[in-house]
């Protein structure tokens, strides 16, 4: 079964890059530009992984991660946080919110795909 990845990213170029690279690697991808729609999209798509921008326009990616982790159906889905926040303590704070993975922008394709594959190997299979 094809693994599914939800990409929550409000920057058009970053979202397109992530989606294109993931699709080229054989994943089914659902892009979400508006963080306010991310939870509903996750419930509809039931991804095997969520790639989450932390600094979204209208809502914090940290808040979205917390909501995902409290959702009975989505709590086991691993989250890869991708963010421009790269200051001291940011990675720890993001991981404490529930993200299993962390990459700082700008993101290189090699480390991005290594992080995606690493989290996919540890994630649970969905029943969908």
Per-residue pLDDT of the chain (128 residues; tens, 9 = 90+): 899 999 999 999 999 999 999 999 999 999 999 999 999 999 999 999 999 999 998 899 999 999 999 999 999 999 999 998 777 888 999 999 999 999 999 999 999 999 999 998 754 443 33
Given this model, what pLDDT does residue 89 score?
A: 86
- Regarding pTM above 0.85, the answer is yes
Domain positions in the chain are 4-122
CATH class of 4-122: alpha beta
Q: Is the dihedral of CA 75, 59, 95, 51 positive or negative?
A: positive
Q: Is the dihedral of CA 91, 97, 37, 72 positive or negative?
A: positive
| Distance separating alpha carbons of residues 64 and 26, to the nearest angstrom | 26
């Amino acid at each position: 079964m094809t693994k599914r990845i939800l990409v929550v990213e409000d920057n058009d170029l970053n979202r397109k890059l992530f989606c294109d690279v993931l699709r080229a690697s054989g994943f089914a991808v659902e892009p979400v530009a508006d963080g306010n729609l991310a939870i509903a999209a996750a419930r509809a798509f039931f991804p095997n992984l969520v790639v989450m921008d932390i600094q979204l326009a209208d809502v914090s990616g940290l808040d979205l991660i917390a909501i995902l982790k409290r959702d009975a159906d989505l709590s086991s889905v691993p989250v890869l946080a991708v963010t421009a926040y790269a200051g001291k303590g940011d990675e720890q704070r993001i991981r404490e919110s529930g993200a299993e993975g962390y990459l700082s922008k700008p993101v290189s394709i090699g480390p991005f795909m290594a992080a995606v594959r690493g989290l996919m190997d540890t994630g649970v299979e969905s029943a969908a």
